[in-house]
Structure 1
């Protein structure tokens, strides 16, 4: 590192020593060893309507985000400056990665070409495009990542398509309003402040974006770099063995859903069932999802609507509802929305088969015959979504039509598989203990497992 970059870094008290090193290196290269960066050093020919960025930001950044960052660094309109110094360059990084709410408010306003004060409102459309540019750059970062978890998802068909990335940005922006489906034209400073405090997905995506744009990465000759936030992608478990996996959800959907799971379930998704791979069989599905811990049910109907639910408890056959108020329903296409539990009732998850007087199928929310989601056991492939559901806040019908045909259905276990606690040792195992699908089929058929009653009592 040259003396110029060391002197520049020493002027900025906002940065840690490690950050000073990496940001100064980036600044030195972009500014050609001067103490100022000109806009044309970062943006080729100053073309901000079709932004082409050079070495550092070119391959990854969304052109709209490049314009917003230019607004912050150089100003906009009549106030536009020909260059910015290292402190301003560092502020853009620090305020986005770990700024206070006021600092993040200021950088958001300035990036959108506005002066920050409590009386200034932001056009909602402008805020939405800003969120879409963050989401787009975040997905570009993921797709260019060399991490194994990102590459497994991508090679299995989870693409990060533009329309879904746009929907991710829209969903992030829509949460600025109390009801995401009620259109607004302007956002007040109060709304924005609250939104920035509680929207953890925006904060995490923004941090990943700026850590990458600013070159905060480990280099062999420079020692360890600061650790970036998790990529928001879970580790996929079980996909490697599927050579022709038929992906029907998107990389953006995974990021959106994973961000709403309890933190202890965000690190891993375990592939349990696919109607395309395992067949359209309710008994097969049940056999593969029982006793697997928390899970996500994801359904695509024949109209292309994609929706489902998070079940926080292990699925178990029986006449009663189970689960907790961590449960939620969701839709990811055509829009991304999450409907949390109201606690009005505890009708979170139910699954049954071969019952004479109760519904046979999988149900989440609402009442029997009027579920938020219902998947019929026989014939498998049919389902319903009620028009209203008091179990989940803000619920709107998830499928295109009240009665739908299933085009695709998947179940993913989330987090680690729970340990099954046994009072006896490994020698006291029945064949059925090691074959949960067979056990599930007997349960559904109402057959008695005679070995349950003749096991030796556990030792005292």
Structure 2
């Protein structure tokens, strides 16, 4: 069957858009070797190296059937159906894929073991991470080139976090499964990426007859976005910026954890992370931390306590020194180890961010959530100390994030998101050398000195302006 024949067959699938017809027909032609049906062993050769072996088995279950009714080949319509159901399918369609992949029939949909569903999700997560490495996109290389890796344990933690709403039952009903899939936006994004990659595999060299002995290449959909049916889905892997002069960065984050945090950020902040601070690089100093994060825009804070618990928060507002809480309800806290959890805003109060230093009547340190002495996250101005309270009304579902309420941390890092606020020069304010004085510069340093009670002796000692 030639390419025109596969296109004609795809055109008969009324559920495919024109863009999808092209994707599916090209993929079917490659997998079937120009015939009218795909053999299971040929699809295994084509896709096997691209994903978790367990996910390949699940996909083959869907396409070729269960053991007693298993077919040796599959036609284009079934092949196209899998693509559509996994990239933009309805809840019912995604339930159908899940049940059939797990070897369940429609009649067996009320007694699905939780562990089986969790493993299914785990194979999607691990396949996503594997494809990231294979596609070697700009975003992936920006992290991998600095020593960031993927750990199986964190893939399992990410899968567990995605299925946590099902964990209360040993077996799951279809109704619960539908409700869960309806709200699983992150899982939907992972599915979209995985299946867009699989169906976009192509010969890098048109003369190559077989892909099984070579690593297939794909349309690098993750360079900036994955396009499907005219829509765009942002990559869940942000671009890492600011580490050009650091050959190997000692981050505590792996790619699973980065994806987990990034997937919950407002979409405008998912594109790029800017390195701001690391205790491994900048030393253990609260004043240095402040100097690196003040006026840098929204940020993500991540720390690891001495017991190995990893947690932090998303701060949507520009960090500024002052006596009051600030920020907005897009703020959230999170844990990464031993479990991955997100604690979004409750709306009960506005205690999202606080930063103060060298004050006698106010707490000195950095806070997110809660109230003074009972914060969701508190980093003391005496560097290395902090606390995470047992409860925090600012964030929903909150649980103590550190191993013990009062903790000491051994690593802290901060990442800026999006573009930093404009500088005084960019705002059109008077700059040094144009009628101003060098004393007008370093406003942040002067503010810090004033807050510390230091006298600025050079204040008032200005040369007369040029006329």
TM over 0.5: yes
Q: Relative to structure 2, which stretch is displaced further, 33-42 or 387-396?
A: 33-42
Q: 1:37 to 1:438 in 2, by over 3 A?
A: same
C-alpha distance in 1, partners of 2:359/2:440? 23
Q: Which residue of 1 is the match for residue 172 of structure 2?
A: 187
Q: Secondary structure at the match of 1:398?
A: coil
Q: Which residue of 2 is the match for residue 96 of structure 1?
A: 86
Q: Which residue of 1 is the match for residue 191 of structure 2?
A: 206
Cα shift readout 1:12-53 (whole Å, capped 9, x = no counterpart):
23323343333223323322332222223223xxxxxxxxxx
Q: Secondary structure at the match of 1:57?
A: helix
Runs of at least 5 residues in structure 2 that lack an aligned partner in the other structure: 207-218, 463-467
| Pairs aligned (count) | 439
Structure 1 residue 76, shift from structure 2 partner: 1.2
Q: Secondary structure at the match of 1:95?
A: helix
Match runs of 1:5-404 below 5 Å: 5-43=6-44, 54=45, 56-116=46-106, 120-174=110-164, 176-177=165-166, 183-215=168-200, 227=227, 229-378=233-382, 380-404=383-407
C-alpha distance in 1, partners of 2:372/2:364? 10
Cα shift readout 1:364-388 (whole Å, capped 9, x = no counterpart):
111211211111112x111111111
Structure 1 residue 238, shift from structure 2 partner: 0.2
Structure 1 residue 116, shift from structure 2 partner: 3.6
C-alpha distance in 2, partners of 1:359/1:163? 38
Asked if 1 retains the 8 angstrom alpha-carbon contact of 2:439 and 2:459, the reply is no
Q: Secondary structure at the match of 1:59?
A: helix
Q: Which residue of 1 is the match for residue 414 of structure 2?
A: 411
Cα shift readout 1:226-263 (whole Å, capped 9, x = no counterpart):
83633211111202221231121110111000011111
C-alpha distance in 2, partners of 1:390/1:25? 53
C-alpha distance in 2, partners of 1:333/1:241? 29
Structure 1 residue 301, shift from structure 2 partner: 1.0
Structure 1 residue 183, shift from structure 2 partner: 3.0
TM-score under structure 2 length normalisation: 0.86
Q: 1:219 to 1:227 in 2, by over 3 A?
A: farther
Q: 1:218 to 1:16 in 2, by over 3 A?
A: farther
C-alpha distance in 1, partners of 2:259/2:447? 32
Asked if 1 retains the 8 angstrom alpha-carbon contact of 2:147 and 2:248, the reply is no
Structure 1 residue 418, shift from structure 2 partner: 2.2
Q: 1:454 to 1:293 in 2, by over 3 A?
A: farther
Structure 1 residue 312, shift from structure 2 partner: 1.1
C-alpha distance in 1, partners of 2:202/2:320? 46
C-alpha distance in 2, partners of 1:345/1:453? 43
C-alpha distance in 2, partners of 1:429/1:385? 46
Q: Secondary structure at the match of 2:227?
A: coil
C-alpha distance in 1, partners of 2:201/2:178? 28
Q: Secondary structure at the match of 1:14?
A: coil
C-alpha distance in 2, partners of 1:430/1:141? 55
Structure 1 residue 142, shift from structure 2 partner: 0.9
Asked if 1 retains the 8 angstrom alpha-carbon contact of 2:137 and 2:220, the reply is no
Q: 1:443 to 1:36 in 2, by over 3 A?
A: farther
C-alpha distance in 1, partners of 2:142/2:220? 26
